[in-house]
Amino acid sequence: MKALKGSEPIYIQIGNWLENEILSGRVNPREKIYSQYKLSEIFGINPATALKGLNLLVDKGIVYKKRGLGMFVSHDALNILKKEHKNEVLTEQIRGLVAEAKLLDVSEEELIYMLKKEMRKAMQHQTKKGDDQQ
Amino acid sequence: MIRCDELTKYFNGTRALDGCSFEISEPTLTGVIGVNGAGKTTLFKSIAGFLKPTKGEVYILDEQAFQNIIAAQNVMLTEDGMSFYPTASLHELIGSYSRFYPNFDQSLAIKLTEYFRLEEKKKYNELSKGMKSTFRLILALSARAPITLLDEPTTGMDPGVRKELFELILKDYIKVPRIILISSHYLGEMEELLDSILFIHEGKVLKHDDVEEFQTFLTGVQGAPKLIESLEDKLQIYDCKDFGAGIRRIIVESKDLESLSLKEDVMNSLTFKGVSPEDAFVYLTKRKGGGIDELYHS
């Protein structure tokens, strides 16, 4: 049983967890997603709460119901998710970053430079990982 | 399936339930919460048909619950004060319960008794407090009654067993969805199991809603004392605390806060925090006047 923590309502945490499962490729488009009862068992939560979490994804078009078969990840789930996360999650984090930079008297140029540096590191890391796999 | 209509119960002039009304018709795992003496046990006993209402009614499957055999066979109540035939072994008790409750799963009861290391040959009164609670819960779940009432099912258990039993309740509910009502002082521990909460206060239903509603309806607002005080006249305050160092916090209803439509610069200078159902319960039942802090200031 996995443990959930945080002050957000559980169904929202379930929704976020499911989105990450899809974004990280553990569940792929057109595949069946965890059922309400499976989620209920994984997290030790009420099945109705699990269903509310799944329905958050249904409302966004990330997941769709097949009558009698359960819920599936829609073919453009990744596009929807990436767009949404770019708009909300990333913007939110950048807002925090900018506020912190302001507090520390970090200039715009300096912040952009730091960002670029981190981006480059991430790229190198990725290529290295790619090499390892070959 | 369960309908309480202005249910009122007096014991020798003392009011235990006072116009309690609610209805549950779908399978649910509902937590029944309230301070000691709020009326939870009286409510459970009334639903089980053990008590005759002073006023109002309780209906089970459209039948009046009091001393009704149909109601009795469809409702399983377990509570601390339950008495069992003193000379019967646990094994014999399981047998006699399985004869009374038509859906009783005897093999489940035996498996669980073994799993929790309760000796079948022992008598109920020979068990420790925590083991008694475990055995009662095993009987209650194995009965598979359409309405299962668990009154403080984990009394006297250590935290490890408690966690396991909450997991057991959930698993059994997933297997056979039915109406299960649980009263417990450990709301925080069982919150994730529940879909609804029935909040009893002074013999009445104060709030009956989804768990999510209880998780979101109060908000903590924290900020500079002057700013917080300017909000206090406009809002109903459930709690208020000065932390010193220029921080004051109030607890308010989320919808009241939204209706103020504060400007963005005001919003940005405040910190908002969710209030857990367990804390919400404390704020809602707090006695009028000061809290513990006050006692130490005089």
Q: Note whether B170 contacts A49, CB cutoff 8 Å.
A: no
Q: Which domains does chain B have, with CATH numbers?
A: 2-214 (3.40.50.300), 219-274 (3.30.70)
- How many whole angstroms separate alpha carbon B245 and alpha carbon B153? 44
The residue of chain B nearest to residue A38, with distances taken between CA atoms, is B174
Residue B179 has pLDDT above 90, yes or no: yes
Identity of the amino acid at B125: N
| Contact criterion met (CB < 8 Å) for B211 and A45 | no
Question: Which pLDDT belongs to residue A1?
Answer: 47
- Interface check A96 vs B, CB under 8 A: no
pLDDT reported for residue B193: 92
pLDDT at site A78: 92
Is residue B31 a contact partner of residue B194, using CB atoms and an 8 Å limit?
Answer: yes
Give the model's pLDDT for residue A132.
Answer: 59
User: Taking 90 as the threshold, does the pLDDT of residue B4 lie above it?
Assistant: yes
- Read off the pLDDT of residues B98-147 as tens digits, 9 standing for 90 and up: 999 999 999 999 999 999 999 999 999 999 999 999 999 999 999 999 99
Share of chain B above pLDDT 90, in %: 57
Query: Are B192 and A45 an interchain contact pair (Cβ–Cβ within 8 Å)?
Result: yes
Nearest to B135 by CA among B146, B156, B147, B145: B156
pLDDT of residue A130: 60
Average pLDDT, integer, range B266-285 = 86
**pLDDT score, position B38:** 87
pLDDT above 70 coverage of chain B, percent? 96
The pLDDT assigned to A134 comes to 52
* Residues of chain A found within 8 Å of residue B193, distances taken between Cβ atoms: 44-46
pLDDT bucket at B287, cuts 50 / 70 / 90: low
Is residue A80 within 8 A of residue A61, CB to CB? The reply is yes
Q: What is the mean pLDDT of residues B58-76?
A: 91
Chain A nearest C-alpha distance from B264 (Å): 14
* pLDDT at site A49: 93
CB B144 within 8 A of CB B104: yes
Residue B190 CB coordination number (10 Å)? 23
Q: Which residue has the tokens 């009704």?
A: B68
The more confidently predicted of residues B20 and B285 is B20
Q: Give the pLDDT of residue B136.
A: 95
pLDDT in tens, B35-45: 888 899 999 99
Chain B interface includes A7 (CB < 8 A): yes
Complex ipTM over 0.95: no
Distance CA B118, CA B100 (A): 22
**What is the C-alpha to C-alpha distance for residues A119 and B215, in angstroms, rounded to an integer?**
38
Q: Is the pLDDT of residue B288 over 70?
A: no
Given a cut of 60, whether residue B24 has pLDDT beyond it is yes
Tens-place pLDDT, residues A61-96? 999 999 888 999 999 999 999 998 888 888 888 988
Choice between B296 and B217, residue whose per-residue pLDDT is larger: B217
Stretches in chain A below the pLDDT threshold 70 = 1-7, 128-134
Q: Looking at residue B80, what is its pLDDT?
A: 87
What does the pLDDT average to over B6-28?
A: 94
Q: What is the predicted pLDDT for the residue at B135?
A: 95
User: What is the model's pLDDT at position B265?
Assistant: 84
pTM of the model: 0.81
Instruction: For residue B207, list its beta bridge partners.
Output: B199
Q: What tokens were used for B48?
A: 């089980």
Provide the mean pLDDT of chain B.
90
CB contact under 8 A, A9 and B215: yes
Any A CB within 8 A of B264 CB:
no
Query: Taking residues B179-196, what's their average pLDDT?
Result: 90
* Angle value at C-alpha B265, between B260 and B270, nearest 5 degrees: 70
Closest partner CB to B211 (pick from A40, A47, A49) = A49
What residue in A sits closest to B26 (Cα-Cα)? Answer: A48
B294 pLDDT above the threshold of 90 = no
Angstrom CA distances, B98 to B73, B166, B170, B178, stand at 11, 23, 22, 18
